[in-house]
Amino acid sequence: MADPGTVLVLGGTAEGRELADALLARGAEVVSSLAGRVPDPRLPGGEVRIGGFGGADGLAEYLTAHGISTVVDATHPFAAQITRNAAEACAAAGVDLLVLRRPAWTAVSGDRWQHVPDLLGAASALKAFDAESTVFLTTGRQGVKAFRDLPHHFWLRAVHVPDAADLPLRCDVVLDRGPFTLDGERDLLRRKGIDVLVTKNSGGPMTAAKLTAANQLGLPVVMVDRPPLPDGLTTADSVSTALLALGRSQRDVPAGKGPEQPC
Ligand code: NAP
């Protein structure tokens, strides 16, 4: 691999950890950055810094002060603010930026998906369901407030305990962290008497089994679509394509496309 210089990996995802570990194994200088939202984050190898940078300006200053030559934004597809900040900061500091985003899930035959643009849209979509319906909410603890005033019975699955003040009146919390299996998800949907599933379109295999389970049980899914990426960014859809892109000048990769062939 050509030397991409010191790489800052904006993480908080499995891909961010895998990429940092793979770059380290190739002898690259890597710093991983986490937002610090969770008390027990899974850490990649190598140097890790935790906490915000102070907006796009703060990130640009960090890049210059730490001699960063490449940023990989491997944050979650719904972490839209840090992605905007990274685009602005890299442009200001003259640093290469690659966005690593796993592909979104796409519907297959038999899926009953209703697409909504955001969590408020999901809450609105639930109003069409009977107040006695049971909802399986897998959008995480952040943003659960959007559902607070709904009358339905919720099963909220999250990695950490949410703030009780944010929860809907009738809400049970299941604390769990993927990967989840198809048998497990089907069993859970049946046991809890779920009528409708609400999910973000996070993509990736770790939490996809619930969609297959919902399909098999004929359940409707309220699918929160991803926020759009800022225009003109170079993207890779897997750790391996990101590694290929980092192996040559980022500017050689066409905007909006990951490399398809090793070169
Ligand atoms: P966000 O709304 O896009 O970002 C809000 C602020 O958090 C940013 O402006 C930045 O603060 C700080 N931040 C976010 N990611 C950071 C990182 N990797 N390193 C340093 N600072 C970071 O982000 P979010 O949706 O709250 O997500 C926070 C983190 O959780 C992300 O790293 C993401 O990968 C992970 N995550 C998010 C979700 C989700 O559904 N949103 C799901 C799983 C994991 P400053 O402006 O001060 O720099």
**How confident is residue 164, by pLDDT bands cut at 50, 70 and 90?**
very high
- Measuring CA to CA, which residue among 46, 181, 84, 195 is closest to residue 129? 195
pLDDT, tens digit, for every residue of 91-106?
Answer: 999 999 999 999 999 9
* Cβ–Cβ under 8 Å, residues 165 and 41: no
Q: Give, for ligand 1, the residue of 76, 90, 199 to mutate: max count of ligand atoms closer than 8 Å to Cβ.
A: 76
Cβ(79) – ligand 1 distance below 6 Å: yes
pLDDT, tens digit, for every residue of 211-256?
Answer: 999 999 999 999 999 999 999 999 999 999 999 999 864 444 444 4
Residue 84 CA, closest ligand 1 atom number: 3
Global pTM?
0.92
pLDDT, tens digit, for every residue of 52-100?
Answer: 999 999 999 999 999 999 999 999 999 999 999 999 999 999 999 999 9
CA of residue 81 to ligand 1 center, whole Å = 7
CA 24, CA 2: separation in Å to the nearest integer?
A: 14
CA of residue 9 to ligand 1 center, whole Å = 12
Residue 83 CA, closest ligand 1 atom number: 3
Cβ(249) – ligand 1 distance below 6 Å: no
